[in-house]
Structure 1
Amino acid sequence: MRALVMLFSLLLSMSLSAAEKLPVVTSFSILADMVHQVGGEHVQITNLVGPDADAHTYEPSPDDAKALLEARLIIKNGLGFEPWLDRLVTSTETKATVISASHGVIPRALDEDGATVADPHAWHNLANSELYIANITRALIAADPANQADYERNSKAYLKQIYALLAKAKARFAALPAGNRRIVTSHDAFGYLGQAYGIDFMAPQGLSTEREPSASEVAALIRQIRQAHVKAVFMENIKDARLLKQIADESGARIGGTLYSDALAASGPASTFAGLFEYNLDTLYNALSQP
């Protein structure tokens, strides 16, 4: 009888262990969705920078430090996107594995304030997002090999969505009139998208939203917009739109809509990464496809 009780207890503990979810911390909402798509029911995600929030200016909280200590896997973007997370990992001395989802991306190098820096917004090129998904899948399998088959199946299904979006983006951007390929956004977040499809994105702010543009920089951009006959100015979900509205008014360009740059929407079609990309694609096409 005692042996049966011990066996029952062992089986119960094994079933509870199997039901436990892998604790994963993600740095911002776009990565959280990618991990959710691949990890499915097997992961418990704690995301640090939420929808419609700016990861460039984020300040971690004590709860964030606690989440890092409880995590088994921490997934960040990398490419210098979240230095605050690197500092938090060091200060907490967490034992969790830390991976960069952007590993393997060929970074877009830019000159900012006299220094060469890597553009961290690599997810806006869907060819790069394929690398993100592969890195996330490998990391989940390494941390939780028992569910490898599910992670691989979810990853393949997710990549099918990405490939469909790649085909749509190629067709739509190829159809844009040649003179309608210059646009303005709040900060320089869409360079990888522009690089992939031959669109010139201009912005009053650089790669990060931390430094506000000077009056002379804004004036120079307005002159550039007039000279280049830029058709549209696009707001971003993470930024105050007042500066962009001022630029549009003074330059004569029209407001083309809102783009989702560094964060998902809290709800609606842009509340997933695939939805975000498709929403941005449709918004850009609708604004730029006019003669």
Structure 2
Amino acid sequence: MLTRRALLISATALLPLPLAAPAFAQSDGPIQVVATFSILGDMVKRIGGEHVAVKTLVGPNGDAHVYQPTPADARTVSEAEILVVNGLEFEGWLDRLVDATDFDGMRVVATAGIKPISFDDDHDEHHDEHDEHDEHEEHDEHDEHDEHDEHEEHAEHDEDEEHEEHAEADHDDHHHGAFDPHAWQSLANAVVYVDNITAALSQANPANATDFYQNRAAYVAEIEALDAEIREIMEGLPADHRTVVTSHDAFQYFARYYGLTFVAPQGLSTESEASAKDVAHLIEQIREQGIRAVFVENIGDSRLLERIADETGAGIGGTLYPGALSGPDGPAGTYLDMMRHNATTIAQALNP
């Protein structure tokens, strides 16, 4: 169930927004809202209902990590009354896009009030997993270093400013800041997202605030019910069948919330490149722990995971949705469908 701390944060989010926001002219038409990617767009639609017209910049099955804004997107943002963003530096292209527009509406950061997982904490956990295997390696002196340090072509550029971008990619935080931005992978965090959106819509259109809060209450009830459902599913997994291998490191909130371990050859961004050492460690871990399945993602290239599966004998457990919904006819057409699909896909593949 959702924690008391999460509920307190949610209650705080329902207070009027503390930052100054533009005054909105009241009209009979819906509020023009732009959401940066499909998960946020779905949440806004659930809360706003008929009172919002939502456009999403990165649509279903789209990868926000590699998104490139277009002139049409700039026009869309210019016309928006509200711009809903994830924050935590997830949308590395956002400031550039907004700067290219005359947007003067309300900018809503959906993660405001969430305690994020720091990149260092996330990274350290992966090092701990790798260190368990390092007694099999010849170079023990490298145990405390990043798993990418052996790449000579990158090491020789460490002090070269021209190659800082590549160095960042090799440390798994390419295009992200100090925190893991994939906070929607926790249903407790989802309530905070919902409350931030509800507060913004109510401030923009007070006449329909009652509807927004009623929609919010119904949505949160569904989130809490799904949380209980997923928790029961995950508690059914044996202790030695709780490691999930996927493409990039987007599931740490889910992992912490439901007591799983997620490992991935790529970092926090799909643009990060997996090193040969990372892949070798992962293959060794899969073999030693007898991991039954690996999972591809709807927004990533599946070839590396398919090669790892071939080399280890693990099966492909299915497709997970880390940061984009499926199309409306797919298994993850809404945020709640996405979370349920991911949980059931993992459990079905890992259960002995």
1:236-275 per-position Cα deviation (integer Å, ceiling 9, x unaligned): 1111211111011112222111111110001223100011
Which of the residues 313, 336, 352 maps onto 1:252?
313
Which of the residues 272, 284, 287 maps onto 2:346?
284
Q: Tell me how far 1:77 sits from its aligned partner.
A: 0.5
1:69-104 per-position Cα deviation (integer Å, ceiling 9, x unaligned): 111100001111101012211332410111111111
Partner of 1:119: helix, strand, or coil?
coil
Q: Is the 8 A contact 2:172 2:267 kept in 1?
A: no
1:235 maps onto 2:296 in alignment? yes
Q: Which residue of 2 aligns with 1:165?
A: 226
Q: Is the 8 A contact 2:88 2:111 kept in 1?
A: yes
1:138 maps onto 2:199 in alignment? yes
What is the one-letter code of the residue matched to 1:57?
V
**Which consecutive residues of structure 2, in runs of 5 or more, have no partner in the other structure?**
1-25, 124-170
Aligned length: 274
Q: Percent of pairs identical after alignment?
A: 49
Q: Tell me how far 1:108 sits from its aligned partner.
A: 0.7
Which of the residues 122, 142, 145 maps onto 2:183?
122
What is the one-letter code of the residue matched to 1:149?
T
**Which consecutive residues of structure 1, in runs of 5 or more, have no partner in the other structure?**
1-16
Determine which structure has greater relative contact order: mean sequence separation of CA pairs < 8 Å that are 6+ residues apart, divided by chain length: 2
With the length of structure 1 as denominator, give the TM-score of the two structures: 0.90
Which of the residues 90, 95, 99 maps onto 1:90?
99
What is the rounded CA distance, in whole Å, between the counterparts of 2:96 and 2:290 in structure 1? 44
1:201-238 per-position Cα deviation (integer Å, ceiling 9, x unaligned): 00010100112212332222212222232221011111
What is the rounded CA distance, in whole Å, between the counterparts of 1:88 and 1:268 in structure 2? 30
Partner of 1:83: helix, strand, or coil?
coil
What is the rounded CA distance, in whole Å, between the counterparts of 2:64 and 2:289 in structure 1? 31
The structure that is strand-richer by fraction is 1
The structure that is helix-richer by fraction is 1
What is the rounded CA distance, in whole Å, between the counterparts of 2:343 and 2:277 in structure 1? 31
1:21-43 per-position Cα deviation (integer Å, ceiling 9, x unaligned): 10001000000000000000010
Q: Is the 8 A contact 2:33 2:83 kept in 1?
A: yes
1:113-132 per-position Cα deviation (integer Å, ceiling 9, x unaligned): 29772111111110000000
Q: Is the 8 A contact 2:172 2:269 kept in 1?
A: no
CA root-mean-square deviation: 1.5
What is the rounded CA distance, in whole Å, between the counterparts of 2:285 and 2:239 in structure 1? 18
